[in-house]
Amino acid sequence: MTARTGHHRRALPFDPIEEASRRWSERYPEATRMHAVTSLMRVHQLVLTELDELLRPLGLTFARYEVLVLLSFTRAGELPLGKIGERLQVHATSVTSLVRRLADAGLVERVQHPEDGRAFLARLTDAGRTVLADATRVVTEAEFGLSALTESESEQLSRLLRGPRAAAGDF
């Protein structure tokens, strides 16, 4: 049983990524990078699952939480949906769905853009601010799912991942 989520997860008697890497190296090049990307993707799954499970009682997913955080960082607590997608680096249809779910829960309001009749703003509500505060406490207490890393290791991981992000045109 995992400490945070309460779900049972049976540990394998071997590391499947190590085994896949060993087998990969017998047939193909780039075993080191294959091992790295497979590890990265698995950690992504584990962290996202943990955070989503922790946020579920608050009616959130991590993606919806990110929208609330982004809105809280703005002066007016609101942004055009297009800006949300741009800043979170997600497709417009994903933003529309996220904002619709948040609006249905009363955490944001979807309002007409005052200067562009075709655009909409997502505006953080008081209820959204309250849920955001609770959710932030939950994810920070869980150390964003990276409690197995020290602060120094977390900084190092961020530095290591900056290169591939920059090379992909992320910023």
pLDDT tens for the chain, residues 1 to 171: 454 555 567 899 999 999 999 999 999 999 999 999 999 999 999 999 999 999 999 999 999 999 999 999 999 999 999 999 999 999 999 999 999 999 999 999 999 998 888 889 999 999 999 999 999 999 999 999 999 999 999 999 999 999 999 999 999
CATH number of this structure's domain 16-146: 1.10.10.10
What are the structural domain ranges in the chain? 16-146
| Model pTM score | 0.90
CA angle, residues 9, 14, 18, in degrees to nearest 5:
115
Residue showing tokens 């406490």: 137
Q: How far apart are CA 108 and CA 71, in angstroms?
A: 9
- Closest C-alpha to 68, from 126, 142, 117: 126
What sign does the CA torsion over 110, 113, 118, 122 have?
negative
How many other C-beta atoms can be found within 10 angstroms of the C-beta atom of residue 121?
22
